[in-house]
């Protein structure tokens, strides 16, 4: 006697099961990182959990720090001894020794959205996608639609945080 699966499982249940399976398969790469709107900041503005599964790469973080097209942290901050970047900005504080002064969780929170740590900070939120006034479509001057892609990816934030953590006096 042949049993067909339809005989003991209603069709809609099968569809649902298939959908659930597909969702798991397709969501796998996404489960590995926390979306900007799902990031949990604590009351000090820190983010305890890494934003992704991959540990941050400090060398890549150092590159992003000086890269005009991604982090461009150097536009506002200074780090002594960085010989690869001319004309370091003076808007934000010098970052020498930040790895001593801050826990990794706080550094992660400051990079992701500094205003959660310093409400008056001028620093943009690098892992944020909603809540803007007249959000634009990158640098076109035209309207953008929220959620905007964050300025850095989850992995890039982790890389920058890993780099900052190496800055010890």
Interface residues with another protein (CB under 8 A) are 74-76, 86-93, 98, 101-102, 114-115, 118, 120-125, 132-144, 148, 151
**What is the C-alpha separation between 158 and 126, in angstroms, rounded?**
11
Q: Within a 10 A sphere around the Cβ of 78, how many other Cβ atoms?
A: 17
Q: Nearest 5 degrees, angle CA 63-CA 52-CA 110? A: 60
Least distance in Å: CB of 169 to another protein? 11
Nearer Cβ to another protein (39/114): 114
Q: Is 106 helix (H, G, I), strand (E, B) or coil?
A: helix
38 or 169: whose CB is closer to another protein? 169
**CA 89 – CA 112 distance, rounded (Å):** 20
* CB of residue 40 to another protein, shortest distance in Å: 21
CB of 148 to another protein, least distance (A): 6
Q: What is the dihedral of CA 89, 94, 99, 103, to 10 degrees?
A: -90
- What does the block give as tokens for 155? 């992995």
Q: How far is the CB of 68 from another protein (least distance, A)?
A: 9
Upstream peptide bond of 154 is cis (omega within 30 degrees of 0): no
Nearer to another protein, 57 or 70 (CB): 70
Nearer to another protein, 60 or 75 (CB): 75
Nearer of residues 55 and 97 to another protein, judged by Cβ: 97
CB of 32 to another protein, least distance (A): 25
Cβ atoms of 129 and 150 closer than 8 Å: yes
């Amino acid at each position: 006697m042949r049993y067909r699966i339809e005989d003991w499982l209603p069709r809609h249940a099968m569809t649902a099961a298939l959908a659930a399976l597909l969702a798991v398969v397709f969501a796998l790469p996404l489960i590995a990182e926390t979306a900007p709107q799902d990031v949990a900041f604590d009351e000090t503005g820190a983010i305890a959990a890494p934003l992704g599964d991959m540990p941050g790469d400090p060398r890549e973080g150092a590159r992003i720090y000086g890269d005009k097209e991604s982090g461009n942290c150097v536009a506002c901050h200074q780090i002594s001894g960085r010989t690869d970047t001319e004309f370091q900005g003076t808007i934000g504080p010098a970052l020498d020794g930040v790895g001593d002064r801050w826990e990794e969780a706080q550094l992660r929170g400051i990079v992701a959205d500094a205003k959660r740590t310093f409400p008056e900070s001028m620093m943009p939120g690098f892992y944020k996608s909603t809540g803007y006034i007249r959000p634009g479509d990158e640098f076109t001057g035209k309207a953008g639609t929220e959620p905007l892609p964050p300025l850095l990816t989850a992995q890039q934030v982790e890389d920058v945080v890993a780099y900052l953590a190496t800055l010890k006096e």
